[in-house]
Amino acid sequence: MSEKGDIETVSHNPQLACKTVLVTGGAGFIGSHLILLLAARYPLWRIINVDSLEYCASLKNLLYLESTSTYKFIQGDVCDQYFIDHLFSTENIDIVFHCAAQSHVEKSFLYPSQFMHVNAAGTNVLLKAAFESGVEKFIYMSTDEVYGDSLDKYFDESSPKRPTNPYATSKAAAENIVLSYWNNHQLPVVIARSSNVYGPRQYHEKVIPRFLFLLQQDQKCTIQGTGLQSRHFLHVDDVTEALLILMKRGIMGEIYNIAANFEIAIVQLARELVKMVKNPPKAKLDDWLLYVDDRPVSDLRYPMISDKMHKLGWKPKIPWEEGIRMTIKWYEENKSHWPAVTEKFPCGC
pLDDT band at residue 14 under the 50/70/90 scheme:
very low
Question: pLDDT averaged over the chain?
Answer: 92
Q: Is the pLDDT of residue 13 over 60?
A: no
Query: Which residues are known catalytic residues?
Result: 144-145, 167
CA atoms of 282 and 52, how far apart (whole Å)? 45
Find out whether 142 and 192 touch, Cβ atoms under 8 Å: yes
Q: Where are the beta strands (DSSP E) in the chain?
A: 20-24, 46-51, 71-75, 95-98, 137-143, 189-194, 196-198, 221-224, 230-235, 254-258, 263-265, 289-292
- DSSP per-residue letters across 120-171: IIHHHHHHHHHHHHT-SEEEEEEEGGGG---SSPPB-TTSPP---SHHHHHH
Q: Is the pLDDT of residue 2 over 70?
A: no
Show Cβ contacts of residue 238 under 8 Å, excluding neighbours closer than 6 positions: 258, 260, 316, 317, 318
Query: Sheet containing 230-235: which strands, arranged edge to edge?
Result: 196-198, 230-235, 263-265
Q: Is the pLDDT of residue 243 over 70?
A: yes
Convert the pLDDT of each residue in 284-312 to its tens digit: 999 999 999 888 888 889 999 999 999 99
The mean pLDDT of 164-192, rounded to a whole number, is: 98
Q: For the chain, give the percent of residues with pLDDT over 70.
A: 93
Q: How many helices (H) and strands (E) does the chain have?
A: 12, 12
Find out whether 23 and 49 touch, Cβ atoms under 8 Å: yes
Position 91, amino acid: E
CA atoms of 306 and 339, how far apart (whole Å)? 36
CA atoms of 26 and 274, how far apart (whole Å)? 31
- Give the pLDDT of residue 347: 58
State pTM to two decimals.
0.93
CA atoms of 241 and 266, how far apart (whole Å)? 26
Q: Is the pLDDT of residue 345 over 80?
A: no
